[in-house]
Structure 1
Amino acid sequence: MLKKIGTVELKPGMFVVDTGISWLENPYLYAHEGLVGSESDVRRIRDEGYLEVFIDTRRSLFGRDPDGVSDEEILSGALQQLEDPGVLEPQVPVAEEMRKATVLYDTTVRYARGIMDEMRDKGVVDMSEAEPLVDSMLGSITRNTNALVGLAKLRNVDEYTYTHCINVGLLSMVFGRHLGFGPVTLARLGLAGLFHDLGKARIPDDILKSPRRLSPDEFEVMKGHPGIGFEYMRERGGVPEEVLEGVYEHHEKHNGLGYPRGLRGEQISVAGRILAVVDVYDALTSRRVYKEPMLPHKALSLMYGMRGQDFSPGLVERFIRCLGIYPVGSVVELNTGQRCVVSEANLRNPLQPRVLIVHDSKGRPCSPRPLDLAGQTAVRIATCLDPVGVGIDPGRALGAM
């Protein structure tokens, strides 16, 4: 399994992994894949200024995970140690909510595009529509969480900047609801997510879209974007404290290696901690010009390896419990060969979600048919697939239920 450690803990015999995490915002993450051969290799990595590294415990020469146990099984075992969160039953079928959610999502994309363009071109933003849109998203989440969560997976790579802001907002509300927060706090988490990257609109494109590792001076400019958004919103006045905290602190890390202030542990606000988790998840699972998306279950497994380093202990586990090891909208293949879209997570047994069969065992499209894997003894998920690669539209499938 993947695990994130400080380079001060790196030893010969550990296997370093390139996870594909953006180096734009992680320039101190060493990612040259391979076995660390000697103490001189370790010293060289530290001398070059790298502070963190991902290792694969299965491919390292010591401290290895048990053979034959998948990452998903390890995650499932960890989640079983958490308290039962209870199940928030949907108020309406997902197909019914999907129609409303699609219109709402598209409307919010247009708004997000508008505010980022305004911030870039004029340095001012019309925030008047934000609260009604966030309230509408919260209403949709309350009626049936799976509709908007499923739509969050359907991204146009050219609109990443806008869809990322929306997804961080809606997933922060989904996560906050799972944690038991009330509607006022949830709406503030949604606003913080919607505006969390507002400051990036003022970062020069040659830095924001750089195809190479940033220089120390360039990274200092990049690190300024949370502060730019925070200062703009604070000066406007009337913005709730939780929103300001989420915008300012979404890149802070539990171990103190984040930015802009290098806060550590409990110094980071609740909003900052929640947005940090959601921000990384959506970035990992997004298709970008320079990278393919990471499959959701792999992203969650990677983030599990970051617990106690980037994220507060226990928070990632609860986020995985919230979304499920196979989040809604994931495309999976069963051991029968049938291909499915995950339609509902199973909080009590994360390896057995409800799915919608959309391809038969020979890979041919078929009429969607629901299947609850919790009621199956011989049928299980064999692997997770890239929806684009197999020609499956999760949103359309969920809307047809």
Structure 2
Amino acid sequence: MNIEKEKVSVKFLKIGMYVCKLDRSWLDTPFPFQGFYIRSHTEIKDLQTFCKYVYIDVVKGKTLSSESKISKPSPLLRKNTKARKYIGRSTPLVVKHDFYPSEHKPIKSEFNGAHNLMLDMTAAVEETSFNLRVGKGLDIKKTKKIASQVVNSVLRNPNTLIWLTQLKNQGRYIYGHSLKSAIFAAVFGRHLGLPEDKLEILVSGVLLSDIGKTKICRKLLNKSEPYTDEEVKTVRGHVELGVELLAKDKHMDHDILTIVETHHERFDGSGYPYGLVGNEIPAYGQIAGIVDTYDAMTSKRPFGKLHTPSQAMETLYKQRNKLFSAKLVDEFIQAIGLYPSGSAVQLSDGSIGLVLSHNKQKRLKPEILLVKDEHGETLEKPKFIDLSKKAMFSKKERPCVTSALGNNEINFDPDQMIAGFNNKPSLKKMLFA
């Protein structure tokens, strides 16, 4: 169906309208470039700040004369009637974008600590997995300590840990997946304005969300061919196995159990194990589902297609109000960016670089670590460039990002680069001046 557009002055915007086009480039605004539903008076004020008029999609949302509401999934769509164990009444998520300061510490002051933290996290998760496989108990205090360290690092700088996870593949998929998902959850939660104690609960829950897989045969988990129906049933059982494992600890937080229990539920009722619909899924469970799916798409797995970050974001966007809440998908794109820290990208002049941190206002002009020049030649010394700012004494605009690349396409050694950060003061000085 073609988009049916209607030009509307920003003075007459209403909650429920779907903005599909602006009177200026999306890149000059903080709004999702694919379009979005207006869901608050704050968003209307933001539109009035940046624009004089916009175009609305009269098929997707309200018109000037329409009072119809955006349709929501019906609980009647639920396919599963299993009794829920730890899911209570869902508390609405209150987004507070200004809860944390927009300014944060530079990567240079966070890098060494974040790199050591990644090593400690990897070792701790592998140790936990091994202990559970051989019948030992779970040390929830260790998990919470890791979660607290992740949150503290992300509060200081939300880009550094993401940069490291994208730059260096951390061991087996099952370990790397839980670690990276937890880091994405921390960055997402920071963007939403969750208090620090709630961030630690969220990160702990996401770290432990796949803990039930320690009770499933490794050969099955690492299978590269499609699962049979029976194997799908077995693998999906990791949710209930995980909840049972964690519930044995009398000190386990109820919210952690809820996250583990609901991270595979989906907005349209197609998820498992209960087939919950819409906001029946607790907010933390919805957040966990989004970060779990995003990292699965952008990680090398025994099965499934490997997506670039921008491809994964596009896929998530298409699932708004289908698999995931439209509001949360929009917020996730804002939090992580189309080209997250660590993404390999090609610029309009043909050069290639790694994103250091994304620019929420100018998505195609992030901070870049340039590793190849416009002729495809690898630079002897990587060069730091903020694409949103002109070069000193130059009137020429910086190039912009034109496409995402797989990190395997740019042929560089991440271990050597990390060693360079840790051991070469001159390289640090050049990068972070």
2: CA distance, partners of 1:155 / 1:309: 32
Question: Structure 2: how far apart are the matches of 1:111 and 1:379?
Answer: 42
> TM-score w.r.t. structure 1 length?
0.76
Whether the aligned pair in 1 keeps the contact of 2:225 and 2:303 (CA below 8 Å) is: no
> How many angstroms apart in 1 are the aligned matches of 2:168 and 2:303?
15
Equivalent pairs: percent with the same residue?
28
> Separation in 2 of the partners of 1:120 and 1:72?
49
Task: Give the whole-Å Cα distance in 2 for the aligned partners of 1:378 and 1:139.
Answer: 33
1:380 and 2:400 equivalent? yes
1:280 maps to 2:237: no
Detail structure 1 runs of 4+ shifted over 6 Å in the superposition: 71-74, 79-82
Given the two structures, how large is their TM-score scaled by the length of structure 2? 0.71
CA RMSD, aligned part only?
A: 2.7
Amino acid at match of 1:142: L
Aligned to 2:383, which of 354, 369, 394? Answer: 369
State which of 239, 242, 248 in structure 2 corresponds to 1:235.
248
> Could you tell me how far 1:208 is from its partner in structure 2?
1.9
What amino acid does structure 1 have at the position aligned with 2:126? R
Q: For residues 302-349 of structure 1, what are the alpha-carbon distances to aligned partners after superposition, in whole Å with 9 as ceiling and x for unaligned?
A: 111111111012111110100111111111111111111111111122
> In structure 2, what is the Cα distance between the partners aligned to 1:342 and 1:336?
16
Mapped contact 1:296–1:327 kept (Cα < 8 A): yes
Contact 1:90 1:143 in 2 (8 A): no
Paired position in structure 1 for 2:215 = 202
Alpha-carbon offset, residue 165 of structure 1: 0.9
Give the whole-Å Cα distance in 1 for the aligned partners of 2:414 and 2:343: 7
Question: 1:375 is matched by which residue type in structure 2?
Answer: K
Counterpart for residue 298 of structure 1: 311
| Contact 1:341/1:355, CA 8 A, preserved across alignment | yes
CA distance in 1, matches of 2:317, 2:111: 30
Which runs of structure 2 are paired with 1:60-79 in the superposition (5 Å)?
76-78=33-35
2:320 maps to 307
Alpha-carbon distance, 1:155 to partner: 4.3
State how many pairs are aligned.
333
CA displacement at 1:187 relative to structure 2:
0.2
Contact 2:222/2:302 (8 A) holds in 1: no
Match of 1:62 in 2: none
- SS where residue 192 of structure 1 aligns? helix
Corresponding residue to 1:389 among 399, 409, 419 = 409
Q: CA deviation at 1:167?
A: 1.2
Whole-angstrom distance in 2 between the partners of 1:120 and 1:387: 33
2:267 is equivalent to residue 247 of structure 1: no
Give the 3 Å change call, closer, same or farther, for CA 271–317 of structure 1 in structure 2: same
CA apart distance, 1:223: 1.4
Cα distance in 2 between the residues matched to 1:105 and 1:193: 16
Verify: 1:217 aligned to 2:230, yes or no.
Answer: yes
C-alpha change, 1:168 and 1:326, in structure 2 (3 Å) is: same
**2:310–2:339 CA contact under 8 A, matched in 1:** yes
> Which runs of 5 or more residues in structure 1 are unaligned?
1-64
Q: Aligned pair in 2 of structure 1 residues 156, 329: CA closer, same or farther (>3 Å)?
A: closer
Cα deviation for residue 157 of structure 1 reads 6.9
**Structure with bigger gyration radius:** 2
Is residue 265–residue 272 contact of structure 2 (8 Å, CA) maintained in 1?
Answer: yes
Listed as ranges, the gaps of 5+ residues in structure 2 are: 1-19, 47-96, 391-396, 422-427
Asked whether the 8 Å contact 2:344–2:352 carries over to 1, the reply is yes
AA at the equivalent of 2:410: V
Cα distance in 1, alignment partners of residues 210 and 138 from structure 2: 13
2:406 aligned partner, one-letter code: D
| Alignment map for 1:254-265 (pairs within 5 Å) | 254-265=267-278
Q: Which residue of 2 aligns with 1:102?
A: 115
Over 3 Å counting, the alpha-carbon distance change for 1:211 and 1:199 in structure 2 is same
